[in-house]
Structure 1
Amino acid sequence: MPTFPTLSPWLEYLETAHPVGIDMGLARIGKVKQALGLTFACPVFTVGGTNGKGSTCALLEAMLLAAGYKVGCHTSPHLLAFNERARINGEIASDEQLLPHFEAVESARCSFPEPVSLTYFEFTTLAIMHLFAASGLDAVILEVGLGGRLDAVNIIDTDCAVVTSIDIDHASYLGDTREKIGFEKAGIFRTGRPAICSDPVPPQSLIDHAQEIDADLWLFGRDFNYQGDKQQWSYGGRSLRRAALAYPALRGANQLLNAAAALAALEAMRERLPVSAQDMRRGLAAAELPGRFQVLPGQPAVVLDVAHNPHAAAVLGQNLDSMGYFPYTHVVFGAMQDKDIGGILKHLVDKVDHWYLSALPTARAAAPEVLEQKLLAAGFRTDADHSVQRFASPEQAYLEARKVARDNDRIVVFGSFYTVAGVIAQRKLERH
């Protein structure tokens, strides 16, 4: 049984330990969960959806922390360091905290006559859950990695499930229609437990599945809602009203939808985890999440957004329109080859003057030449004021954009997590 003194070699080992990166199904991970004796003594929130999962987790976490609860939050993927995937009380878990739980999972995996093979995500999710189970928490928040029904996170029977939005992404795994994807996302619902969906037009498959298993389905527009003006907003649920709420610290067009979903989850769970109106306000104001329409201070304006499917790109386009006037918009973009790149670009092609297309440090990435073909196919034309360039890395692309952009322009960095992570790393280098 291998064991390593630090986290880095563990992660390197896990990257090659299982024959394929994504291997849907709960049989293998379920066996190891049993061998670990993994259970939670506190309420668990499971959050799935195409977009908005990370934001909803961050808002839920911030409000529960403001109320004084001890909270564990597991999200993925990470931007700069693996440890970002595990937070306890708002703090990123240290290597020292994580290591014993990596060893526990490896030991459980190898306790069978034939050791159980786990993917990187399955193994690390179990390790983080095991850490949370040992940490005396009041609440646990688990973000679904991919889909829902067959995702590693779904080995836990959640106390409250949230599905944020349903759109086409990961079609080769989840299906190529909203109905097929809705069924996969609804797989996190449980009989008799709150099942919250904040998609304004949920697929019928999700509603049918909730009814079939007799989950307590909360639909946006029917069971909960929000209203807002420029200054403040209000939430209305089944029996809870919250008026004069400040806007969430997370910026962007969809954040009220995500905040309403988080408040519906808290309303549904308030007998076990009461949160006062004041703590809700404090939590909404304190929530943080890098790379979700994150506007950095200074000039030129820099926007970071991990929008990597057409639905998220449409929201990013709306958010850019609401920012006001900039003479030129410079965009650093890199994406995975299995994404609907044409569908992503069509929402932004008329909002961008200069494109800086980037390769990414993974074999799954689309080559800059491919991105350029898709951009031209989407209708982008170069002239004296419009250009396309290709780069070997997001860092190089960003440095070139910085060189060209004037103070009153804006630079938008979007696409894969790798694109945004590369630019965050470059900015850190510049500061030190």
Structure 2
Amino acid sequence: MQHFDTLKGWLDWQESLHPLAIDLGLERAANVFSKLNPDYLKPVTVTVAGTNGKGSCVAYLEAIYRAQGYRVGAYTSPHILKYNERIKIDGQPVEDAAICAAFTRIEAVRGDVTLSYFEFGTLAALDLFFRSKVDIQLLEVGLGGRLDAVNIIDPDVSLISSIGIDHTDWLGPTREDIGREKAGIFRAATPAIVGDPDPPFSIFQTAESKKARLYCIGRDFRYHKHGNEWHWSADRQQCLHLPEPALKGEHQYRNASSVLLSVSLLQDRLPVSDASIRTGLAATRLPGRFQLIDGDVPILLDVGHNPQAVGTLAEYLHEHFPGKRVHAIFSMMKDKDIAGVLEIMNPFVHDWFFAPLANPRSVTEPVIREIFLKNSISRLSFGFKDFSAAFAAARQHSRKGDLLLVFGSFLLVSDCLTELNKK
């Protein structure tokens, strides 16, 4: 049996253990979890899937339930600065020692079952939430839904934030395919909330075949903005004069609306007051989502890495930074729709600075040069050894009143926050 004294040791070993970085399927993780906690008593569980907005929905739920005084476990991915961000209890990342202890328990029962890096993390989160006796656990799907490791747990509420085109190699090439995979988290006679305003038909098909209780935004629940406030309603319920969601962008009203319906549907098990809802909405924090760092030249960080996500980013720039010269420090993973992202964002960007990432999945300079050329984008700078150099060059080209935009990848935002923390 393997044992490591440090979290880094465990994570390095896990990355080398399984032949595939991604190996979708429930049987292996379910098998190990049944041995890990044979007397498992499931906390109230909300499972959140979606192309974009998953992390935001979890963050709103976490803030609202914590404002009410509940003990909350939140499992998300990927992390930005530290692995511990993935597993939080009562708003705090779990310490290295606790995660290492969970990994040790998993390894003790794993036997010859091979687990991926993500499956180890999922099992550790479930184990730690169970042992910590959380009142509610919030589980963010890593990829898809139907075959993602978090789906070994039956949710009390399933929530799909949005359906866009991403991870097509794993989930299929169309929104119908992707919707079907994400709707795999639905359960019979259980609420299934969809915050996408135009869901694919496969969502309705899957809900019907699974006999889930489907709730769609615009049909079963809705929101209405009024000045600096907004109102939410569903059937005979309503919340009036709500504060603006702390996370910025029009899409956050859809995310927050979906979350409010989830809270409403769980009221008989975990009552929440209107005051806690308001406090939670206003107190939600999530690094890397339209995160603005003030200064003579402010910096806007966003992890958006697919056309749907950068579409909301473009809307946000148009609404909040009209007429600004925007200098984009940019990079993406090579399997993403880079051309689609550039087409959406180029009208809002004055010039581009390509920042290479230290990851084998990231796009290389020769490839990105060709994509820029095909999209007739000429205001670009290359030749930087790392993010720090690209960021420094963008700053030199900026003047007071401009905006520095860092977007395209979680890893890029991580590099930026690391750079800023140094200073």
The amino acid across from 2:59 in the alignment is A
Match of 2:360 in 1: 363
Q: Aligned to 1:162, what secondary structure does the other structure show?
A: strand
Structure 2 distance, partners of 1:405, 1:189, is: 48
Q: Are 2:256 and 1:251 equivalent residues in the alignment?
A: no
- Cα distance, 1:263 vs structure 2: 0.4
- Say what the alpha-carbon RMSD is for the aligned residues: 1.2
2:325 is aligned to 328
The equivalent residue for 1:133 is 130
Q: Which residue of 2 aligns with 1:12?
A: 12
2:387 and 2:422 mapped to 1: Cα distance? Answer: 14
CA distance in 1, matches of 2:370, 2:188: 48
Deviations 1:198-229 (A, max 9, x none): 11011111111111111111111111100003
Aligned to 2:34: 34
Shift of 1:230: 2.9
Of 10-19 and 402-411, deviating more is: 402-411
What SS does the corresponding residue of 2:336 show, helix, strand or coil? coil
Which whole-Å CA distance do the structure 2 matches of 1:392 and 1:308 have between them? 22
TM-score, normalised to structure 2's length? 0.98
Partner of 1:201: 198
Q: Within 5 Å, give how 1:305-320 maps onto structure 2.
A: 305-320=302-317
- Aligned residues, how many? 422
For the residue of structure 1 that corresponds to 2:235, the secondary structure is: coil
Deviation at 1:327, TM superposition (A): 4.4
Residue 183 in 1 paired to residue 180 in 2? yes
Instruction: Give the distance between the partners of 1:227 and 1:328, measured in 2 at CA.
Output: 32
Contact kept, 8 Å, 2:354 with 2:380, in 1: the verdict is no
Tell me the equivalent position of 1:343.
Answer: 340
1:149-183: CA deviation from partner (whole Å, max 9, x where unpaired): 00011010111000000011000000000001000
- Partner of 1:347, secondary structure, is helix
TM-superposed CA distance for 1:50, in Å, is 0.2
Question: Residue 13 of structure 1 aligns to which amino acid in structure 2?
Answer: W
**In the alignment, structure 1 residue 426 sits paired with structure 2 residue 423:** no
Deviation track 1:64-83 (CA, whole Å, cap 9, x = no partner) reads 10111100000000001000
Q: Does 1:264 align with 2:261?
A: yes
Which whole-Å CA distance do the structure 2 matches of 1:27 and 1:138 have between them? 27
User: Within 5 Å, which residues of 2 pair with 1:392-407?
Assistant: 392-407=385-400
- AA partner of residue 17 (structure 2): A
- Tell me the residue number matched to 1:378: 375
- Report Cα offsets for 1:56-101 as digits up to 9, x if no partner: 1000110010111100000000001000001100111111221211
Q: Which of the residues 165, 169, 183 maps onto 1:168?
A: 165
CA contact (8 A) 2:231 2:240 kept: yes
Q: Give the Cα separation in 1 of the matches to 2:383 and 2:272.
A: 50
Residue identity in the other structure for 1:36: L
Q: Report the Cα offset of residue 387 of structure 1.
A: 3.5
Q: Work out whether residues 357 and 372 of structure 1, in 8 Å CA contact, stay in contact via their aligned partners in 2.
A: no
Q: Specify the alignment match of 1:90 in structure 2.
A: 91
Alpha carbons 2:331, 2:408 under 8 Å: kept: yes
Match of 2:208 among 191, 197, 211: 211
Distance 1:40 1:333 in 2: 45
Task: Specify every segment of 5 or more residues in structure 2 that has no aligned partner in the other structure, as ranges.
Answer: none
Aligned residue in 1 for 2:59: 58
Q: Show the 5 A alignment for 1:57-76.
A: 57-76=58-77
CA contact (8 A) 1:368 1:391 kept: no
Contact 2:122 2:149 survives alignment (8 Å): yes
Q: Which amino acid aligns with 1:397?
A: A
Equivalence for 1:78: 79
Amino acid in the other structure paired with 1:333 = F
2-side partners of 1:14 and 1:173: how far apart? 21
Match of 1:296 among 259, 277, 293: 293
Cα distance in 2, alignment partners of residues 42 and 109 from structure 1: 23
Percent identity, aligned pairs only, is 42
Question: Structure 1 residues 217 and 401, CA, compared in 2 at 3 Å: closer, same or farther?
Answer: same
Q: Secondary structure at the match of 1:243?
A: strand
The Cα shift of 1:372 comes to 2.5
Task: Give the match for residue 231 of structure 1.
Answer: 228
- Could you list the per-position Cα deviations for residues 402-423 of structure 1 after superposition, in whole angstroms to 9, with x for gaps in the alignment? 2221121100000111111001
Deviation at residue 332 of structure 1 after TM alignment = 0.6
Q: State the Cα distance separating 1:14 from its structure 2 match.
A: 0.6
Aligned residue for 2:382, secondary structure, equals strand
CA distance in 2 between partners of 1:187 and 1:393 (Å): 40
* 8 Å CA contact retained: 1:349, 1:378: no
User: Could you give the per-residue CA deviations for residues 292-346 of structure 1, whole angstroms, max 9, x where no partner exists?
Assistant: 1111122201000001001001111111111234542100111011001101111
SS class of match (1:274): coil
3-state SS in 1 of match to 2:299? strand
Give the partner amino acid of 1:306.
V
Conservation of the 8 A alpha-carbon contact between 1:182 and 1:205: yes
> Counterpart of 1:24?
24
Whether the aligned pair in 2 keeps the contact of 1:194 and 1:217 (CA below 8 Å) is yes
The one-letter code of the counterpart of 1:53 is: K
| Alpha carbons 1:334, 1:394 under 8 Å: kept | no
d(CA) in 2 for partners of 1:390 and 1:70?
49
Counterpart residue identity of residue 311, structure 1: Q
Distance in 2 (alpha carbons) for counterparts of 1:183 and 1:234: 31
For structure 1, the residue ranges without an aligned partner over 5 or more in a row are: none
Distance 1:299 1:122, change over 3 A: same
Equivalent-residue separation in structure 2 for 1:167 and 1:104 (angstroms)? 37
